[in-house]
Structure 1
Amino acid sequence: MRSTILYVMTVLIWGSTWLAIEFQLGVVAPEVSLVYRFSIAAFLMWGYCLWRKLPLKFSAKDHRFFVVLAVCNFGFNYLLLYWAQAYLTSAMTSIAFSMLLIMNIINNRLFFGKSIAPRMFVGAALGLAGIVALFWQDIRTFDLSSTAMLGLGLSLAGTMVASFGNMTSVRNSKNNVGVLQGNAWGMLYSAFFLAIYVVLNGGSFTFDFAAPYVLSLLYLSVFGTVLAFAFYFILIKDIGPELASYTVVLFPVVAVALSIWFEGFELQPSSMLGFILVLSGNVIVLTPFRKIKALLLPNKAVQPVV
């Protein structure tokens, strides 16, 4: 039950951040907005950890992994994705980022030797096919001869960086590093490194006091960062990175629903097909084949399968 609740909350929160990010673009540079976002998140995480009197002292080796976590999950992966969106639509960036599911499965095998269940490939294939169907109108206009290829490369690079961050979280959990404490250090390091990046590139720490920017910044900091990352890393610890990362495939479903409600997005037949494929893939990834067979063939003996 806990994993189900965390799973749903992660999907809803991160799916809605696509809409919130729209209000962050324009006046303030993306890297500066990220400094603000992770500074607020780090302040909240540290305050909570100190209030709960959680241990925050770790070895130098652990701190090296906190730095990796900061770079991969709380900072520069976001920069790569923001840069990619200069060449791609948000739909295309979402499709590329949904490859995190496959990357996590492969990296979990490479770094931790965990076997890959056949159903993972079937479910992932359906999920990715669903993403393609959801945004088919955008894919039709994709021009291989344009700079969109650069955008795709940046998107995939940002996704791979995020996958390495997921593997770092797995390592931290295996070494008894609490999710909250690891996130607190990771967010603090992220804000610090992003601020250095802004300074070295001659950027300025401007701010937009308009309500949409401030409210979206607070939402992204508190819900999109503090709560969602905590939920997600607990999921990684409980059900593994390959299952937890399937939330990424569902993000566009939430994003489309919000777009229909707030922006008047018209649902096309290809979008309906996408919803069906994504949800079907989700069921397959999360349900072992033996349980599916037992459900479909309740009166027949079912041999154990992955």
Structure 2
Amino acid sequence: MNTISLFTISVFIWGTTWIGISAQVGDVPITVSIFYRFALAGVIMLVGLALMHRLQRPNVWRFVVIQAMCLFCFNFIALYKAAALIPSGLIAVVFSLVSICNAINARLFFGDKISRQTVLAGSIGATGLMLIFWTDLFANFDNATLQGIGWAMLGTLIFSFGNMASRHNSSLGITPVTANSWGMGIGALALLGLIKIGGQSMSLSTQPVYWVALIYLSVIGSVVGFTTYLMLIARVGSARAGYATVMFPVIALVISTVFEDYSWTPLAITGVVLTLVGNVVMFRRPEVRHSHYYKDNRV
């Protein structure tokens, strides 16, 4: 598969998973839906690697577990809660700023320098988000929108913590494929524990769209999307592959406009443009040396 195909597939998959998340929000408890997603994805990954004789056991499990909790459990609980409150396309825009969270967390956990361009990218992105939600939060205060933004930002931050764990795992010689394969299974078990503790029932939806979304999120979003992105990184490097993060919110917003009746305003358009510009500025930093460690994992 050529580089253009890998990039196109990665952007399309990441841009469409957000509407799938929205389709799962409803009669089935959020934690149960996420459990179904990663239980299926984990089985596919682990069995698939075993059949190809490529399944490896991590030599250190601690940070694999932390990665699992951050990438395949708590972060998605927050993102699914956000999907119940704000359009999926806007969640994608918030999530696209994960690279800025990564830069801050890399400074806190690994001592990496935060460059001027990182500060500039963060400032542009934050301004863009403020403009996108200006009407709901300032002109006509909407508490539900505020909560949705909060959940989306929390999910993005937790995902960034998972990226830091992935970076540490890589330094220990644990490949992202190995960590994510076991991580999906561990995340599913953790979700099952939360379901039992919370006394939730393992209910099943009767809506066909729910099951279509589940299969899409598990097989395409979690397994295929992750694999194509790793192949893209191997082909062109993490910095160039990271531009997929700039593009997928555009796909998500178009889908949200069609299926969720998202209403565009001049402020929202300006905000989206600024947010995407912030991502471009972020990924144009040539001095980022460790980006492949914390950009290896996606929705």
Q: Deviation of residue 25 (structure 1)?
A: 1.5
Structure 1 residues 69 and 5: alpha-carbon distance in aligned structure 2, compared to 1, 3 A threshold: farther
Kindly provide the amino acid, as one letter, of the partner of residue 58 in structure 1. Answer: P
Taking structure 2 as the reference length, the TM-score comes to 0.79
Of stretches 263-272 and 25-34 in structure 1, the one that deviates more from structure 2 is 263-272
Could you say which residue in structure 1 is the equivalent of 2:292?
A: none
Tell me, yes or no, if structure 1 residue 34 matches structure 2 residue 31: no
Tell me, yes or no, if structure 1 residue 102 matches structure 2 residue 103: no
**Superposition pairs of residues 81-120 of structure 1, within 5 angstroms:** 81-84=79-82, 97-120=95-118
Please give the secondary structure, in 1, of the residue aligned with 2:45.
Answer: helix
CA contact (8 A) 2:87 2:256 kept: no
Tell me, yes or no, if structure 1 residue 58 matches structure 2 residue 55: no
1:202-244: CA deviation from partner (whole Å, max 9, x where unpaired): 111111243201111111111222233445567789437xx87
Q: Deviation of residue 199 (structure 1)?
A: 1.1
Distance 2:94 2:104 in 1: 16
Structure 1 residues 114 and 245: alpha-carbon distance in aligned structure 2, compared to 1, 3 A threshold: farther
**Superposition pairs of residues 1-306 of structure 1, within 5 angstroms:** 9-59=9-59, 62-84=60-82, 97-140=95-138, 143=141, 146=143, 153-231=150-228, 238-239=237-238, 251-288=248-285
Distance 1:273 1:108 in 2: 30
Of stretches 111-120 and 62-71 in structure 1, the one that deviates more from structure 2 is 111-120
Distance 2:63 2:136 in 1: 38
Distance 2:286 2:165 in 1: 29
Structure 1 residues 216 and 279: alpha-carbon distance in aligned structure 2, compared to 1, 3 A threshold: same
Which runs of 5 or more structure 2 residues have no equivalent in the other structure?
288-299
Q: Deviation of residue 149 (structure 1)?
A: 6.0
Structure 1 residues 97 and 287: alpha-carbon distance in aligned structure 2, compared to 1, 3 A threshold: closer
CA contact (8 A) 2:25 2:83 kept: no
CA contact (8 A) 2:131 2:267 kept: yes
Kindly provide the amino acid, as one letter, of the partner of residue 106 in structure 1. Answer: I
1:6-30: CA deviation from partner (whole Å, max 9, x where unpaired): 6654443222122112221112111
Rg larger for: 1
Distance 1:7 1:232 in 2: 8
Distance 2:270 2:144 in 1: 29
Structure 1 residues 165 and 8: alpha-carbon distance in aligned structure 2, compared to 1, 3 A threshold: farther
1:7-56: CA deviation from partner (whole Å, max 9, x where unpaired): 65444322212211222111211111111100110011112211221141
Kindly provide the amino acid, as one letter, of the partner of residue 129 in structure 1. Answer: T
Kindly provide the amino acid, as one letter, of the partner of residue 127 in structure 2. Answer: A
**Identity level (%):** 34
Distance 1:224 1:5 in 2: 16
Of stretches 252-261 and 204-213 in structure 1, the one that deviates more from structure 2 is 252-261
CA contact (8 A) 2:72 2:183 kept: yes
CA contact (8 A) 1:24 1:217 kept: yes
1:123-142: CA deviation from partner (whole Å, max 9, x where unpaired): 33323333443444333456
**Alignment root-mean-square deviation, CA:** 3.4
Q: Deviation of residue 274 (structure 1)?
A: 3.1
Distance 1:141 1:189 in 2: 44
Q: Deviation of residue 74 (structure 1)?
A: 0.4
Kindly provide the amino acid, as one letter, of the partner of residue 196 in structure 1. Answer: G
Kindly provide the amino acid, as one letter, of the partner of residue 121 in structure 2. Answer: G
